[in-house]
Chains A and B, each alone.
Chain A
Amino acid sequence: MSKAEILSNIRHGLGRGSATAEQKKAAMKRIQAHKATIIPKRSQLDQAGQIKLFREMASGAAAELIDIHHLSQLPAAVSEWLKKHDFSTLVSASDECLNELDWAALGDIQREQRIAQSGDVASLTTSMAGIAETGTLMLYSRPESPTTLNFLPDCHLVLLKESDIVGSYEDAWNQLRRKHPDSMPRTVNMITGPSRSADIGQKLQMGAHGPCVLVIFVLKDV
């Protein structure tokens, strides 16, 4: 009943009855075209420019960036970071590119592949894209990469390939559509720096409810 009343009110306000087939078709056509609106020029750069911009913007949003030159260096880089911060456990996503690596470099650090639980100190995931415009990572849910890994642990470590850095949000949406042509994944997470809040005395503090630290391991594959 509510639905009919709400729609009827809207239509009354618009001075028409139900939308005509033509009107519906025009709206659907607009959706299917999903045309971009104005895209700021700042991200319309060549690949090197986009990579540089991503780094600047992500650092500006308080993310920590660590370069690696080959994927095989990731376990050692992760291990070094965890040891530096005195962490002895890591909960990880199980993407193929992570599974193929030799994780012996972790030494005594315990690595588990599962969903995150309260009390986990650090997680490791991959990212689908880095968006240069604002230094934003795009991640999405799938069996190998449960969403809790992105939000529950204190520190979120993310692998980003330079070849996956794009200019704008629109570029990232198109990349996602290519990967998931039929429907959206359950959740898509755009992440720009670690969590924060200024709700106590208007003083900005890092580490509210999401991760207190965001570390991006940038694979220099370009």
Chain B
Amino acid sequence: MQIKSPQFKENARIALKNVELQEALSQFKYGFPVNRANAIKRLPEFEELRDEARDLKNHIIQNLDIYLEQFESKVVENGGHVHWCRTGDDANQAILDICKQVNAKTVTKGKSMVSEEINLNDYLEKNGVQPIETDLGEYILQLRDDHPSHIIAPAIHLNVDDVSETFHEHHKRPKTGDPQALMKEAREVLRKQFVSADVGITGANFLVAETGSTIIVTNEGNGDLTQTLPKTHIVITSIEKVVPTLEDMSLFLRLLARSATGQEFTVYNTLSTGPKRDTDQDGPENFHVVLVDNGRSEMVGSEFQDMLRCIRCSSCMNHCPVYGAVGGHSYGWVYPGPMGSVLTPKMIGIDKAAHLPNASTSCGKCEEVCPVRIPLPKLMRHWREKEFEKHLTPKAVRFGIAGWAFFAKRPAIYRWLARSSAWFMSSIAGKKGRIKKLPLAGGWTDWRDMPAPQGKTFMDQWKAKQKAGE
């Protein structure tokens, strides 16, 4: 996917004026976050589970090499193959090689963000293999030559009419605005693809070292058909997804669905362990796991290590006021929202992604809802520091920070300025105490009023209280 992160500000400006997107986003706020809150109310142990999940992920990272090698040996023992891929290019090549080995013409695909990360579809197409997305949202996007705007609800930016138009154009069937009829249509069209595909590619939510199993978590059942019907099943996944045991996996499963969609449990949690057994009547004859690194191993031991705990639930973006205002496409690459603002600079470079860690109000909601307690605001601050160190920060910002530092180091002037600004702002605010337009703060006042400071400054109040002996 083309990188558009450097144009974040322009993307956001366009998104804010896109009426249909804003309608979709306003509806979205009442979906996942409300469902999550209700699911948590029903599970008193939720906070304890989060602590345990954080600690377990930290334990896994400390032993990552051991668990990965153990996972590999179990996959091989079960008759499968593991391909270790340092880069996205390595992974694309490995997958194409497997497709060529089995003379594949078409490939069905379950939803995989790692495959988006490495541009797998483009690569396969260029090399004569036709990928067919089978997740309903991803399928719609593929027909529209579009990209996901959310990691678990990829077509969240589209409304029913958009889908209706797209299906009418591609399926050549009468137009309908009924979501149930549209879904039935996709089901019928894709059924033929499921059955005739040569290879099925899925992602994996977790890899179990104990058994050499991969697991996918889906509501649609598309991933399950993708990995059952073709003769070859390829799992594309990343190195941080390994967990020691089935019990450990269960801990994450309890957190994943509730944090993501607010479901008690996702409809299908399906484990794959090697190719079909000799006596099995169905299932793939070949089983491959493509383990992608793409910069993750460099995060071990770095200030971004905590990000390796991420289980891709999307809770951070579901609750983020910035994502909620500008949507996923504004972020300009594969991973949007707070988790994307930490991962994207690592994967495409801070020079291209510097806007993203700045696109945060630092409200802390993302950390508050993260099932594995990733300190996302702190990690975004680390990227801002790196941006500053590399002199990537725009001049106006550097000048502003330098100006602030000058006064901050001179408390008397700073306090006088704070006092004067508060007086000025409250004097122009009128009786209601709200400012409709403020010089240099159009980014705020174009959208909402600025509340004027009330009463004295903090330092003045503090001094007065000290004097009064309170």
What is the minimal beta-carbon distance from B256 to any residue of chain A, in angstroms? 12
B224 interface contact, C-beta 8 A: yes
CA A201 to CA B65, docked complex, whole Å: 43
A52 interface contact, C-beta 8 A: no
Would you call B153 and A198 a contact (CB within 8 A)? yes
Would you call B220 and A148 a contact (CB within 8 A)? no
CB contact between B179 and one of A19, A147, A188, A203 (< 8 Å): that residue: A203
CB contact between B219 and one of A38, A134, A208 (< 8 Å): that residue: A208
A179 interface contact, C-beta 8 A: no
Would you call B183 and A37 a contact (CB within 8 A)? no
CA A48 to CA B406, docked complex, whole Å: 71
Would you call B156 and A202 a contact (CB within 8 A)? yes
What is the minimal beta-carbon distance from B461 to any residue of chain A, in angstroms? 46
* Contacts A/B (CB < 8 Å), 29 sampled: A6-B293, A10-B68, A10-B300, A11-B65, A13-B298, A13-B300, A27-B70, A31-B70, A38-B45, A38-B251, A134-B265, A136-B269, A146-B282, A173-B247, A186-B273, A187-B270, A187-B283, A189-B270, A191-B268, A192-B268, A195-B219, A195-B268, A196-B219, A199-B153, A202-B156, A207-B184, A207-B187, A208-B221, A210-B225
Tell which of A2, A40, A191, A209 has the most Cβ of chain B within 10 Å: A209
CA A152 to CA B194, docked complex, whole Å: 10
Given the complex, which residues of B lie within 8 Å of A209, measured CB to CB?
Answer: 134, 136, 187, 190, 194, 220-222, 225
Would you call A184 and B271 a contact (CB within 8 A)? yes
Among B84-92, B116-124, B325-333, the stretch in contact with A = B84-92
CA A7 to CA B274, docked complex, whole Å: 23
A99 interface contact, C-beta 8 A: no
Q: Which residues of A9-30 have CB atoms within 8 Å of chain B's CB atoms?
A: 9-15, 18-19, 23-24, 27-28, 30
Would you call A192 and B267 a contact (CB within 8 A)? yes
CB contact between A15 and one of B153, B187, B301 (< 8 Å): that residue: B301
Would you call A203 and B160 a contact (CB within 8 A)? yes
B106 interface contact, C-beta 8 A: no
Residue ID in chain B nearest A143 by CB atoms = B279
What is the minimal beta-carbon distance from A117 to any residue of chain B, in angstroms? 8
What is the minimal beta-carbon distance from B122 to any residue of chain A, in angstroms? 21
Would you call B43 and A42 a contact (CB within 8 A)? yes
Q: Which residues of B225-251 have CB atoms within 8 Å of chain A's CB atoms?
A: 225, 227-229, 239, 244-248, 250-251
CA A195 to CA B248, docked complex, whole Å: 26
Question: How many positions in chain A have a CB within 8 Å of any CB in the partner chain?
Answer: 80
CA A184 to CA B270, docked complex, whole Å: 13
B365 interface contact, C-beta 8 A: no
A178 interface contact, C-beta 8 A: no
Interface string of A94-114 (1 = CB under 8 A from B): 000000000000000000001
A35 interface contact, C-beta 8 A: yes
What is the minimal beta-carbon distance from B320 to any residue of chain A, in angstroms? 17
Among B48-56, B379-387, B412-420, B462-470, the stretch in contact with A = B48-56
Would you call A13 and B299 a contact (CB within 8 A)? yes
CA A192 to CA B254, docked complex, whole Å: 13
Tell which of A168, A196, A211 has the most Cβ of chain B within 10 Å: A196
CB contact between A197 and one of B219, B229, B270 (< 8 Å): that residue: B219
Sort chain B's interface into a size bin: 35 or more
A60 interface contact, C-beta 8 A: yes
What is the minimal beta-carbon distance from B272 to any residue of chain A, in angstroms? 6
Would you call A13 and B301 a contact (CB within 8 A)? yes
With A31-B244, A148-B228 already in contact, the answer to whether A205 and B65 are too (CB < 8 A) is: no
Would you call B211 and A193 a contact (CB within 8 A)? no
Residue ID in chain B nearest A138 by CB atoms = B269
A36 interface contact, C-beta 8 A: yes
CB contact between A27 and one of B28, B56, B66 (< 8 Å): that residue: B66
CA A9 to CA B225, docked complex, whole Å: 36
Given the complex, which residues of A lie within 8 Å of B291, measured CB to CB?
Answer: 6
Interface string of A34-58 (1 = CB under 8 A from B): 1111101110000000000000010
With A186-B274, A199-B140 already in contact, the answer to whether A37 and B56 are too (CB < 8 A) is: yes
Would you call B210 and A34 a contact (CB within 8 A)? yes
Given the complex, which residues of B lie within 8 Å of A7, measured CB to CB?
Answer: 65, 68-69, 297
CA A133 to CA B299, docked complex, whole Å: 36
CA A168 to CA B43, docked complex, whole Å: 14
What is the minimal beta-carbon distance from B203 to any residue of chain A, in angstroms? 16
Given the complex, which residues of A lie within 8 Å of B31, measured CB to CB?
Answer: 198, 202
Given the complex, which residues of A lie within 8 Å of B221, measured CB to CB?
Answer: 151, 195, 208-211
CA A143 to CA B154, docked complex, whole Å: 37
Would you call B275 and A148 a contact (CB within 8 A)? no
Those 9 A-B pairs whose CB atoms lie nearest each other, nearest first = A210-B221, A13-B301, A13-B300, A9-B297, A208-B220, A199-B137, A201-B160, A3-B84, A134-B265
B302 interface contact, C-beta 8 A: yes
Given the complex, which residues of B lie within 8 Å of A35, measured CB to CB?
Answer: 245, 247
Given the complex, which residues of B lie within 8 Å of A5, measured CB to CB?
Answer: 86, 297
B358 interface contact, C-beta 8 A: no
Given the complex, which residues of B lie within 8 Å of A141, measured CB to CB?
Answer: 276-277, 280, 282-283
CA A7 to CA B269, docked complex, whole Å: 29
Given the complex, which residues of B lie within 8 Å of A185, measured CB to CB?
Answer: 273, 277
Would you call A9 and B300 a contact (CB within 8 A)? yes
What is the minimal beta-carbon distance from B322 to any residue of chain A, in angstroms? 20
What is the minimal beta-carbon distance from B437 to any residue of chain A, in angstroms? 36
A142 interface contact, C-beta 8 A: yes
What is the minimal beta-carbon distance from B79 to any residue of chain A, in angstroms? 9
Would you call A6 and B239 a contact (CB within 8 A)? yes
A200 interface contact, C-beta 8 A: yes
Interface string of B249-267 (1 = CB under 8 A from A): 0110110000000001111
Would you call A210 and B267 a contact (CB within 8 A)? yes
Given the complex, which residues of B lie within 8 Å of A27, measured CB to CB?
Answer: 63, 66-67, 70, 244
Given the complex, which residues of B lie within 8 Å of A208, measured CB to CB?
Answer: 136, 183, 187, 219-222
